[in-house]
A = this chain, B = another copy of it.
């Protein structure tokens, strides 16, 4: 959708899938790095995140701090630049581990300067070694992805059996990738490095 395309037009924003009392929903994970000239360091987490979701953000950061160089990401940027991860809307409490892959993707996008593909939505817990662990609410999340106009969805491989419960027309309308390592997520979700999408200062050199 235009909304999703606009939100993800800059590096550092990834589209996640959540389940609320009212069904599935799309949410955006936003990440930023402070200009080193501001002297800001440390990590800020906002969006009324619960304990488990804050831990997901810590895990995402630690994953990139230990595996980022392997992924050719400029991890030394994390040294002198404060990191902020925010999940709008600001007044809505959110919790759970299933935004793990979305957080790694938003941060990986920011560090690489490669925007996340507008058509990709994702869900999955991430472990500290980058494994993608299963989540709940597969059916509602796929319905929400379709409703929001996503054409590609990244799901944990260990959630494959849950696809049986998803209406065939939804499964067919979506390109569903089953992933077991967050590197696959990054490969599928990030635009190519030289794509012509606009790049903000926050993500560039």
Q: Known: A46-B55, A127-B30, A201-B69. Contact between A38 and B90, CB under 8 A?
A: no
A 19-58 binary contact with B (CB < 8 Å = 1; else 0):
0000000001011111101111100101110011001101
Does A148 have its Cβ within 8 Å of any Cβ on chain B?
no
Q: Give the docked Cα–Cα distance between A201 and B66 (Å).
A: 7
Does A197 have its Cβ within 8 Å of any Cβ on chain B?
no
Q: Which of A128-136, A137-145, A186-194 contacts B (4 or more CB under 8 A)?
A: A128-136
Cβ–Cβ < 8 Å partners of A34 in chain B: 62, 65-66
Question: Quick check: B76 and A37 within 8 Å, CB to CB?
Answer: yes
Question: Quick check: A128 and B84 within 8 Å, CB to CB?
Answer: yes
Cβ–Cβ < 8 Å partners of A69 in chain B: 35, 37, 201
Question: Quick check: A55 and B47 within 8 Å, CB to CB?
Answer: yes
Q: Known: A38-B68, A129-B13. Contact between A91 and B80, CB under 8 A?
A: no
Cβ–Cβ < 8 Å partners of A65 in chain B: 32, 34-35, 38, 40, 82
Complex A-B: 24 CB contacts under 8 Å: A6-B131, A12-B129, A30-B127, A30-B128, A32-B65, A32-B66, A32-B128, A32-B129, A33-B66, A34-B65, A34-B66, A35-B66, A44-B58, A46-B58, A48-B52, A48-B55, A62-B82, A66-B84, A67-B200, A67-B202, A86-B128, A89-B133, A90-B100, A90-B125
